Each structure stands twice: as structure tokens, then as C-alpha cells.
Structure 1
Amino acid sequence: MSKFLAIGLSVVVLLQSLRLDMGDLAHMDELFEHAQFHAEKYGDNFFVFLSKHYGELQEEHTQDHQEERKEHEKLPFNNTFCSHVLTVYVVHKFEMQVNTATPDVDYTANFEYLDNYVFLEKTDIFQPPQLA
């Protein structure tokens, strides 16, 4: 069971790193329908369709075919993600002063041993048998 859980979590991390979510998977049928539309109307194969919507020909296709804008918004993988660059500035300069003096501690007084288990050897319970 733990192997299935590990594999499942790995797949989730992979899909998140590829920017895939459940909404994209729900819109896959619209992707295939629009690809079929392009094949019938323009004679495009699937790779040309992908290039027109996600590749090199995307800008040209969106300028030439403004009437298909609503269909293009329904296609999966159109999520525009922003990448923010975080910049942190240190305003206050902090200087740490290191104290090199040794502390006055008596290390001999830190050790004290109390023999709390002496009573165990004096009882007859833990002694070997006397008669054989």
C-alpha cells in the first residue's frame, strides 16, 4: 500500500511540475474537437494544430482568426502563469560581537554519581541458589 501511495504522490508532483491540473484534463475533449475542426476546415494535421495553438504559429493564428477566440479560451493548457521574482534587500546591517573570554565554570562540580541500585544485590531474590 505504501508503494501505491509513493507512486501516486510522485505522479501528483510530476503533473504539478508540468503545470497540469484537473481542469486541463477535463478540457481534453474540447482540444480534440477543435483539432477535428481544424482538420476539416483548414486541412491541418494534429502537429500543425498544436503548433498553431501552442507553438511557433500561435501569434499568427490568433491574429488571423479572431472569430475563434472563444473556442481558443476553452482549450486546455492555456493557463497563463506568472513568475514573480522576489528580491530581498537587507536594510539593517547587523554585526555580531563574539565574546572570546572563557566563562568561569567549575566543571568538577557538575558530576555526581549516586548508586541507587545497591539494594538489589543485598536481597535473596537475585542470588544464586544455595542448595543444589
Structure 2
Amino acid sequence: MQYDQSWMGKGIVGGVEAGLVSVVVALLLFLLFHWLGRRNGWSYGPQIGWSFLLATVLTAGGDLWDMFYFNYAHLQSLPLLRAELALVHDPENLGVRVLCELLGVALGIYVGWMLSRGRRNPGEGHR
């Protein structure tokens, strides 16, 4: 299920806005998985992996599906194509939005990882 993108701008502005949404979601998910991981003895690998997967599905999943659909579906009539394109926010810049969303997920996880490393106990070693 795709979140409402009607408030977003078009072009690179819409891409940056979608990327910022991805940063926030990925940061919150990483902090959640880091909290769970510390209590269950997980390394950073599962924390980063699950955060990236869920943040990508939640924020970029709809746009990724649209890209896949428009590239591989057999839209055999012009009215069907117009109807499908009308459901997509800013179809001309779909690739830019997906790129910004994926970069936003990576940035959000990186920021969360840096924040979590700063709260380590002084006697605790590297993991």
C-alpha cells in the first residue's frame, strides 16, 4: 500500500520530499531494531538489513511497483494506460522519486547507526 503523495511537489522537489520521508522512516525503524537487537544480542547486520527492507517496502514500495508495472505489464490500450498513469503522482519523474527514496532509506539507517555508536559504554568493544 502506497502512502498519500498528493502533498508532494513534482520533479526533483517531490523526489527530495519523498527522500526525507524515507530518511525519517528508516531512522525510526533502525532505532527500533537496534533497541530490539541490543536486548537479543543481534549484530548490526540484522538490524541494518531488517530496517532497510521494511523502510524500502513502506516508503518506496509503491513507486517501485509502479516502475515495474509500467515496464513489464502489457497495457494494450491507450485508455488503460491513461487510467493507470492517472493513479500515479508525477509519473514523468517516477525514477527520480525512487532514487531519492532509496538514498533516503540508506541515509536514515546511516544516521541511526552513527547515533547508536555514540551511545556505547566506554568499556564495550567494537561489534
The TM-score with structure 1 as length reference comes to: 0.30
The TM-score with structure 2 as length reference comes to: 0.31
Which structure has the larger Rg over C-alpha atoms?
1
> Going by fraction, where is helix more abundant, 1 or 2?
2
Higher relative contact order by CA 8 Å / sep ≥ 6: 1 or 2? 2
